[in-house]
Amino acid sequence: MEYMNQIIQGDCELVLQQIPDASVDLIFTSPPYADQRKSTYGGVKADDYVKWFLPKTEQFLRVLKPTGTFILNIKERVVNGERHTYVIDLILKMREQGWLWTEEFIWHKKNSYPGKWPNRFRDSWERLLQFNKQKKFNMYQEAVMVPVGDWAQDRLANLSETDKTRDVSKVGSGFGKNISNWLNREMVYPDNVIHMATECGNRNHSAAFPTDLPSWFINLFTQWGDVVLDPFIGSGTTAAAAIALGRKFVGIDISSEYCQLARERISGIQIQLLSPRSSQGAQDQHGNSRPE
């Protein structure tokens, strides 16, 4: 089966069985949320979610390279007045499957709708769970550095004596910081909260995430020419981001309609990248030139 740079229609659990072991550098995906969107593409009951998902993560584990990363965009929904525990249960089961739960990023949705609920406030964040196969994985932190911004003026203006020396962690984590090291720097490493507006242009898919979201993780965990897999590709956002950044992609969706949508979307981007103007001297964030 031809799978590289393709949008493949089918159940990802089955399609992935045809993809070789250790062939993918990054898996970035947002699966259907439990029960949530039954009317559009069939939800899975919250109580059944882990059972439904685990055979898929087993395939993800197999196709991911040892140095690769899996980022799972997910958020537990409210069932009978409380947050369901399927995400927590899933993390525990995935650890049993062999995954390391390395990190959790938060996607803060800057433009969430205002609203009033009797016992909670509006939901304005989602989890981006990071899983790895081993402790040492590829990570290109320089690719996502951010301007130091206002923090520098406020925090660095009044440095204490502790700030000027190495402040050994008070919680015994073994990490310390010397804040004055960051004086006069224009760029710093970001934190693990990503502030990004949701996609307003809808893209004919009810659950599309903004292109900047996969782009950020593609930059962080892959290099030019690496392979990015989204097993629930929907409208093709992850593939679009991968192509624009010069990465290869594999996209899978169970819906033929969404596959068609994704193919149409990325065909434009491929043409854009292949145009003579964009291929001249193109460089990625690591300074590597685009291979011809």
Ligand X SMILES: C[S@@+](CC[C@H](N)C(=O)[O-])C[C@H]1O[C@@H](n2cnc3c(N)ncnc32)[C@H](O)[C@@H]1O
Q: Does 224 bind ligand X (CB under 6 A)?
A: no
- Shortest Cβ 37–ligand X spacing (Å): 7
Q: Which is nearer to ligand X, 109 or 205 (CB)?
A: 205
Phi and psi, residue 277, nearest 5°: -65, -45
How many Å apart are CA 185 and CA 187, to the nearest integer?
Answer: 6
- Shortest Cβ 266–ligand X spacing (Å): 12
Residue found by looking up tokens 């089961």 in the block: 93
Q: Which is nearer to ligand X, 63 or 252 (CB)?
A: 252
Which member of 12, 74, 143, 194 binds ligand X (CB under 6 A)?
Answer: 12
- Shortest Cβ 156–ligand X spacing (Å): 38
Closest residue by Cα to residue 208 from 184, 227, 236, 186: 236
Q: Which among 133-141, 186-194, 205-213, 268-276 is the span making contact with ligand X, rule CB under 6 A?
A: 205-213
Q: Does 252 bind ligand X (CB under 6 A)?
A: yes
Q: Does 229 bind ligand X (CB under 6 A)?
A: no
Q: Which is nearer to ligand X, 163 or 253 (CB)?
A: 253
Q: Does 53 bind ligand X (CB under 6 A)?
A: no
Q: Does 209 bind ligand X (CB under 6 A)?
A: yes
Closest residue by Cα to residue 59 from 90, 16, 97, 93: 16
- Shortest Cβ 220–ligand X spacing (Å): 18
Q: In 245-277, which positions are buried (b, 16+ CB within 10 angstroms) versus exposed (e)?
A: bbbbbbbbbbbeebbebbeebbeebeeeeeeee
Provide DSSP, 195-261: EEPPPSS-TT-TTPPPTHHHHHHHHHH--TT-EEEETT-TTTHHHHHHHHTT-EEEEEES-HHHHHH
Q: Does 59 bind ligand X (CB under 6 A)?
A: no
Q: Does 30 bind ligand X (CB under 6 A)?
A: yes
Give yes or no for a contact between 214 and 25, defined as CB atoms under 8 angstroms apart. no
Q: Which is nearer to ligand X, 234 or 246 (CB)?
A: 234
Q: Does 186 bind ligand X (CB under 6 A)?
A: no
Q: Which residue ranges make up the site for ligand X (CB under 6 A)?
A: 11-12, 30-32, 41, 205, 207-209, 231-232, 234-235, 237, 252-255, 258
